[in-house]
Chain A
Amino acid sequence: MSAAAASAAGAAPVFSVRNLWKVFGPHAERVPGGELAELGPEALREEAGCTVAVRDVSFDVRQGEVFVVMGLSGSGKSTLVRCLTRLIEPTSGTIAIDGEDVCGMDKGALRELRRHRAAMVFQHFGLLPHRTVLDNVAYGLEIQGVGKAERREKAREMVEKVGLAGLEDRRPGQLSGGQQQRVGLARALAADPEVLLFDEPFSALDPLIRRDMQEEVDRLHREEGRTMVFITHDLSEALRIGDRIALMRDGRVVQCGTPEEIVGSPADDYVRDFVRDVPREQVLTVRRAMRPAAAGEADTGEALPPTTTVADAIGTVVRTGTPARVVDGGRCIGVVDHRGLLGVVAGLDGDGKAAA
């Protein structure tokens, strides 16, 4: 997936969010940018009766990437994703989709945006209990005014795509949680949206089913290259599927970067604490472990691409018994040996210094 992101890195952002605020409470609009903005959460609640859910957030979501917003409950991530299609009205700031101002849209334009360009998958599925699986999947097309035969055909295709073929006539109540979320996914896909928004889609599922669903999303992303914004509170989930991760705390984005940057170079103690238990060797790449090649080393030993994880490199080095070369575009950019690799595992690589 990193490859997909890399290829699209130069393209214009799908979502461009600047200085976004969402404040709940009376006279919320006076908080952003004012004196009140400086107050802590408790003080603000006492002073103005307001709660800040999203605090001065800016980021871009690039074409074709999986952008993960991660944070603990109450960090404002679910509010943030709802602001993107104005399911929750932002207090201030700008949101643009393909350069088009979302905040300035009237009701009709907003509906068009929700119908065709950004579809959402919810934690608690939000299925219609009185409709069959097929009619649930077709619902988005139905409210767009698509004819019955056409929308059913399209829905059938989607049901098949998410692996629910044969269950078209069941009702949501008769399905397991994982199956229900597949219906939610199919419903979102049916409208063929430009962006998929996921709001903690797998938090309500059992661990094994969660893994299945993560692979499903991963597969969809690889096959179709669809842009995704993914909300989660689960760090391993974020690291597994995210091309880039924005880590939120108290409504603020504390760090935004690739999984490797988050794990390898935590921006502050909060992030460091957060990623402490992450198996570093599975996230970090050989870039962090390598040293400049000594004389003669540039031509011998196994060649590894720079995106290789440390864990994989350890395997190679142990197997061959010699240091391995890191080769980028036919040029050797460094060498990894026992010492460097173990240093990364032990966390002795230092923050951001090794990536020369």
Chain B
Amino acid sequence: MSTATSPARPASTAKAKAPAAGSAATGPAARPAADAAPADMPPAPTAGAGPLRALWARPAARKLLVLAAAAAVLVPLAATAWGSGTWPHALTVDLTGPLGRANDWIIDNRDHHWIFLYFFGHISGAIIGAVHAVYTVLLALGWAGVTVGAGLLAWRVAGVRVAVTTLASFAVCGLLGMWVPTMRTLALMIVAVAASVVVGALLGLAAGLSERTFRALRPVLDTMQALPAFAYLMPVVLVFGIGVAPAVLATVVYAAPPMARLTALGLRATDKGVLEAVESLGATPRQRLLTVRLPLARRELLLGVNQAIMMALSMAVIASVIGADGLGDRVYQALSTVDVGSALAAGIPIVLLAIVLDRTTAAAGDGRASHGPSGRLVWPLVAAATAAAAVAARLLDARNWPGDWTLSIAAPVNDAKDWMVDHLYSGVPGVGGTAEWAAHYTGWILDPLRDGLQGLPWWGALLLVAALAWLIGTWRTALTAVLALAAIGVLGRWEVSMDTLSQVIAAVAVTLVLGFAIAVPAARSPRVDRLLRPVLDVFQTMPQFVYLIPVVALFGIGRAPAAAAAVVYALPAVVRITSQGLRQVNPGAMESARSLGATSGQQLRHVQFPLARPELLLAVNQAVVLVLSVVIIGGLVGGGALGYEVVFGLAQGDLATGLVAGAAIVCLGLTLDRVTQPTKAEKKGAGA
């Protein structure tokens, strides 16, 4: 059905309808649109055809006309067949039955079917073994060994400043009494990152060396990066149940795509001249790869590792919902009882871990080798010093972080939070209170938007998505978007998804308004940019999960805190992309505008915004993708809708519900990404 409303209509329909619609609007000619204008009639040479032709000359208007023509035919048909309003029941397929049976079958057979015994069982066993081994090593090193080792490693790779940050961060983890959970998260991370990097690098290698693999893989990787983390949880739980193994697997699936993507891009970006020169010297393909392509892709490879680590941390924390223990689990447990103090105590180590890991790996990718000490003996020295610290701590019988060195912040934080509840939630003179804001946001924005979306006839929503996606992108992206949206309806998750969608749209709107408001000054004034940069750096490295902690403290539980977390999470990326786009505008164009006497507002409107259009669209796309991922996680703090169904499915062991919701999340993610995906200029490879 959904294909029928797609913009990929045969051209004859478009040609037949467009002149008819035009004449009806402009002239007294042929009234009845249905029998007007034979298929291939050229634009009529009458006076009335002038504006139409002008309209037809604009690509955007042409697309809309074609779409309107298609809609004029199909909508009445669809509406009479299935009615308007919400997604028609006749077009849904109930998957809960089959999925439930599949789940039951898996549970029944997990212990004796060969596929579990000899395939999934081995995978799961290997993962659990690896995580356990790493954890044992970390424990054996003790807090002293780990801290010293990490510090020296950071020193070698990234220089003194990062080393000091690392030492301080690990010390704080210990001080907060979170040493053991931190090590558990770290062990899980190490295994997941290693696997992601290996898998990603292999995929990237294949895609980097073979054009066909690249073409097949790229859309998959692009799509995977646009999907919310929550969507990856359900399938692994279906097969592996709850535990460490599925958590690691979900993390790998989430973290490997950026590595694969950057590896492929790095390998493909090798300077053609260098490759040719090397070939002219008689290098074998293997020599070309090892001595030229890989070394020249070093930057991208290390950036890939950096991205994989950050994604893995983000996911390792979220995976606490499917049985990953460690810091994420502590946050999850604390949030479920609205114990902000304990959540913060576990959240701070997550943030510190993120900062340390990001700074260290980013410095490695910088390419400047002059950060830390160098020389042949450095690595053995690092290892020796680590071992010495570990042995020393063991001799002093202090392998675990000493109990009396910890500082419990849960109680004072909770006191502070209670004070906030008493004083900031409501009745602050003049501005109201956070709870009132939340109520207003929910009541005045979210509810009407949700009701509007749910009240929208289903074909109207499809049409809207098609129009938007086609205007911004190509007919391909529009087709995917429409199909994905229709799939949500078919899955029977229309209403719930519209609820999620309303939250996303509202939060994206807020993000964009705030983001542009911050980005424009940042692009114009180097000082604002300098002030903003470190803040953005820190915010961009934090895993999405930790944003839930402060918003729960401020706004309580509900859809508003989820939206607030989403806005805060998406804002840094939007600000960064927008301000960079505005700043990179061709200085020649800016100079000529200034020389013509344009005011700064005119420069912004006429030069910077139009020239930075690709970046602005990218910012919108990123805002949508990032907001969606947090809105879904918002299911954990009362955001409801699709995210809640996944959480509910996990909590109740009702995997069928969770899986269908997960599939709907994938579809929604796909729709939103494609609707906002600007046309990418395809770069054609130069032949000779």
Contact = CB atoms under 8 A, between A and B. Distances in A.
Contacts of A120: 277, 280
Interface string B285-312: 0010001100110100000000000000
Given A139-B291, A143-B283, A126 B688 contact: no
A192 to B, nearest CB: 13
A130 B296 contact: yes
Contacts of B291: 128, 139, 142-143
B277 A126 contact: yes
A87 B284 contact: no
B277 A130 contact: no
Contacts of A116: 282
Given A79-B688, A88-B688, A130-B296, A143 B282 contact: yes
Given A128-B292, A130-B295, A144 B282 contact: yes
A124 interface: yes
B273 A187 contact: no
B421 interface: no
A114 B280 contact: yes
Given A129-B296, A139-B291, A143-B287, A122 B277 contact: yes
Interface string B483-514: 00000000000000000000000000000000
Nearest to B279: A87
A72 to B, nearest CB: 16
Interface in A112-133: 112-116, 119-120, 122, 124-130
Given A114-B279, A143-B282, A125 B273 contact: yes
A339 to B, nearest CB: 51
Given A24-B688, A128-B292, A115 B277 contact: no
A276 interface: no
B416 interface: no
Interface residues of A, number: 34
A31 interface: no
Contacts of B278: 126, 128, 139, 143
A87 B280 contact: yes
A53 interface: yes
B273 A140 contact: no
A240 interface: no
B209 interface: no
Contacts of A87: 276, 279-280
B280 A85 contact: yes
A82 B280 CA distance: 9
A116 B688 CA distance: 24
A253 to B, nearest CB: 19
A122 B296 CA distance: 19
Interface string A123-165: 0111111100000000110111000000000000000000000
Contacts of A129: 274, 296
Nearest to B288: A143
B687 interface: yes
A137 B42 CA distance: 66
B300 to A, nearest CB: 13
A191 interface: yes
Contact of A140 (B274, B281, B284): B281
A124 B281 contact: no
A111 interface: yes
Nearest to B290: A143
A231 to B, nearest CB: 13
A111 B273 contact: no
Given A129-B296, A130-B298, A139-B291, A191 B274 contact: no
Contacts of A24: 687-688
A139 B281 contact: yes
B270 to A, nearest CB: 11
Among A53, A126, A184, residue most surrounded by chain B Cβ atoms (within 10 Å): A126
Given A88-B688, A127-B274, A143-B291, A119 B280 contact: yes
B275 to A, nearest CB: 8
Contacts of A119: 280-281
Contact of A115 (B274, B282, B295, B688): B282
A111 B280 contact: no
B688 A53 contact: yes
Contact of A114 (B282, B287, B296, B687): B282
Contact of B281 (A82, A88, A110, A114): A114
Contacts of B292: 128
Contacts of B298: 130
Given A79-B688, A139-B291, A191 B281 contact: yes
Contacts of B276: 87, 122, 126
26 contacts: A53-B688, A78-B688, A87-B279, A88-B688, A111-B284, A112-B282, A115-B281, A115-B282, A119-B280, A122-B273, A125-B277, A126-B271, A126-B274, A126-B276, A126-B278, A126-B280, A127-B274, A128-B278, A129-B296, A139-B281, A139-B291, A140-B281, A142-B291, A143-B278, A143-B282, A191-B281
Which 8 A-B pairs give the minimum distances between C-beta atoms? Answer: A126-B277, A115-B282, A114-B282, A120-B280, A140-B281, A111-B282, A124-B273, A126-B273
Given A143-B278, A143-B281, 12 more contacts: A24-B688, A111-B284, A122-B277, A125-B277, A127-B274, A127-B277, A128-B274, A139-B291, A143-B283, A143-B284, A187-B281, A197-B280
Interface of B: 271, 273-274, 276-284, 287, 291-292, 295-296, 298, 687-688
